[in-house]
């Protein structure tokens, strides 16, 4: 069917494509951002946003606004639009849309588990979770003591279950292995998503492989930088890199042996022309204090 996919496209995708194109018109423009820069109070921001598509979400907020409320309400718009599209989507688009949320789900799981480890209130943690990554039994995560329990109690019901096979251990949870868990999950997730997109083929594979390769490379660089100076061994570090992307496989070998932050940049040289080098420098500048 390659080449003829546009012929039957409108049957399933026509409405949603129109919706997405409509959403693009609702994005804030450069002029909007210029105006937002000139705002002096949060009320000014609300007033300016009220002329945009965010207006209906903010109009019923009482006047002493908080930044969190603005962010929350604007995220709510995204979530509402996402939910609407998910409701309308048919296979394989609905699966694709669900894949998008898995990243948020992983972050939420890590957030809750870390939070419980530091004895924070679950309700408070739940408020901080990204609404796209919510699943039913997320609050139960607090019950689990170690990875095995985490998997057996809660995650076995979620779409994240297959990604967990790598990291089922009976070790107690601590910051270090939570972070490793996050990265293992992400690795499995990205690889799965990549495979799914390749299976779909066509424009999806073309565009998504670039985007996912970028994400995989970004994470690889990130992991390298964050693991320098920790007790993570080279082999363990090597295991966390996703098995695709522009850095795979030779870049990964080089990244795995990096001992300090200045060695990271040369590793990526020449392999990732599409990854703007100044972006990399931005990461390098930002990451140490993160």
Partner 1 sequence: MEKFIDNLSPMDLMRSEKMSLVQLIIPVESAHRAVSYLGELGLLQFRDLNAEKSPFQRTFVNQVKRCGEMSRKLRFFKDQIIKAGLLSSIHPVVEPDVELEELEMQLAEHEHELIEMNSNSEKLRQTYNELLEFKMVLIKAGSFLVSNNNQAVAEEWELSENVYSSDRYVEASSLLEQQMRTADQSGLRFISGIIFQSKALRFERMLFRATRGNMLFNQAPAGEEIMDPLSAEMVKKTVFVVFFSGEQARTKILKICEAFGANCYPVPDDFSKQRQITREILSRLSELETTLDAGIRHQNKALTSIGYHLTQWMSMVRREKAIYDTLNMLNFDVTKKCLVGEGWCPVFAKAKVQEALQRATFDSNSQVGSIFHVMDAVESPPTYFRTNHFTNAYQEIVDAYGIARYQEANPAVYTVVTFPFLFAVMFGDWGHGICLLLGALVLIARESRLSTQKLGSFMEMLFGGRYVLLLMSLFSIYCGLIYNEFFSVPFHIFGGSAYKCRDATCSDAHSAGLIKFRDPYPFGVDPSWRGSRSELPFLNSLKMKMSILLGVAQMNLGIILSYFNARFFHSSLDIRYQFVPQMIFLNSLFGYLSLLIIIKWCIGSQADLYHVMIYMFLSPTDDLGENELFWGQRPLQIVLLLLALVAVPWMLFPKPFILKKLHSERFQGRNYGMLVSSEFDPDVEPDSAWEHHEEFNFSEVFVHQMIHSIEFVLGAVSNTASYLRLWALSLAHSELSTVFYEKVLLLAWGYDNVVIRLIGLAVFAFATAFILLMMETLSAFLHALRLHWVEFQNKFYHGDGYKFKPFSFALITEDGD
Q: Which position among 6, 19, 20, 47 is part of the footprint of partner 1 (CB under 8 A)?
A: 47
Closest CA to 173 of 137, 149, 140: 149
Q: Does 117 bind partner 1 (CB under 8 A)?
A: no
96 with 159: CB under 8 angstroms? no
Q: Does 38 bind partner 1 (CB under 8 A)?
A: yes
Q: Does 43 bind partner 1 (CB under 8 A)?
A: yes
C-alpha torsion angle, residues 131, 172, 225, 282 (rounded to 10)? 20
Q: How far is the CB of 276 from partner 1 (least distance, A)?
A: 32
Q: Which stretch binds partner 1 (CB under 8 A): 46-54, 168-176, 218-226, 250-258?
A: 46-54
Q: Does 142 bind partner 1 (CB under 8 A)?
A: yes
Q: Does 61 bind partner 1 (CB under 8 A)?
A: yes
Q: Of 181-220, which residues contact partner 1 (CB under 8 A)?
A: none
**CB neighbourhood size of 277 (10 A):** 12
Q: Which position among 35, 146, 209, 226 is part of the footprint of partner 1 (CB under 8 A)?
A: 35
d(CA 262, CA 264) in angstroms, rounded, equals: 5
**CB neighbourhood size of 211 (10 A):** 12
Angle at 163 between CA 161 and CA 165, to 5 degrees: 85
Q: Which position among 48, 148, 218, 239 is part of the footprint of partner 1 (CB under 8 A)?
A: 48
Kindly write out the interface string for residues 149-188 of this chain, putting x where it contacts partner 1 by CB under 8 A and - elsewhere.
Answer: ---xxx----------------------------------
Q: Which position among 60, 67, 170, 278 is part of the footprint of partner 1 (CB under 8 A)?
A: 60
169 with 146: CB under 8 angstroms? yes
- Residues linked to residue 172 through DSSP beta bridges, in sequence order: 146
Q: How far is the CB of 49 from partner 1 (least distance, A)?
A: 11
Place of tokens 């990604």: 163
155 with 109: CB under 8 angstroms? yes
Angle at 279 between CA 278 and CA 281, to 5 degrees: 60
Q: Binding residues for partner 1, per CB under 8 A? A: 35, 38-40, 43-44, 47-48, 50-51, 59-63, 122, 136-137, 139-140, 142-143, 152-154
């Amino acid at each position: 069917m390659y080449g003829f996919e546009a012929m039957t496209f409108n049957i399933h995708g026509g409405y949603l494509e129109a919706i997405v194109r409509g959403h693009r018109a609702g994005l804030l423009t450069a002029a909007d951002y210029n105006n937002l820069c000139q705002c002096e109070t949060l009320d000014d921001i609300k007033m300016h946003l009220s002329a945009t598509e965010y207006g209906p979400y903010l109009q019923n907020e009482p006047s002493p606004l908080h930044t969190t409320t603005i962010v929350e309400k604007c995220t709510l718009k995204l979530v509402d639009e996402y939910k609407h599209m998910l409701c309308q989507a048919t296979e394989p688009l609905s699966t694709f849309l669900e894949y998008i949320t898995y990243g948020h789900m992983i972050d939420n799981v890590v957030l809750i588990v870390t939070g419980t480890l530091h004895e924070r209130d679950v309700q408070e943690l739940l408020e901080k979770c990204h609404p796209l990554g919510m699943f039913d039994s997320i609050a139960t995560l607090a019950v689990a003591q170690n990875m095995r329990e985490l998997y057996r109690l809660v995650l076995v019901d979620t779409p994240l279950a297959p990604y967990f096979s790598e990291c089922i251990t009976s070790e107690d949870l601590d910051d270090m292995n939570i972070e490793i868990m996050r990265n293992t999950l992400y690795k499995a997730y990205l690889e799965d998503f990549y495979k799914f997109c390749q299976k779909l083929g066509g424009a999806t594979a073309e565009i998504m492989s670039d985007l996912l390769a970028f994400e995989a490379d970004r994470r690889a660089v990130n992991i390298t930088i964050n693991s320098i100076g920790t007790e993570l061994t080279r082999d363990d570090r090597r295991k966390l890199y996703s098995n695709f992307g522009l850095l795979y496989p030779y870049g990964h070998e080089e990244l795995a042996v990096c001992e300090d932050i200045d060695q990271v940049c040369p590793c990526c040289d020449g392999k990732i022309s599409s990854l703007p080098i100044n972006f990399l420098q931005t990461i390098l500048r930002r990451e140490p204090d993160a």
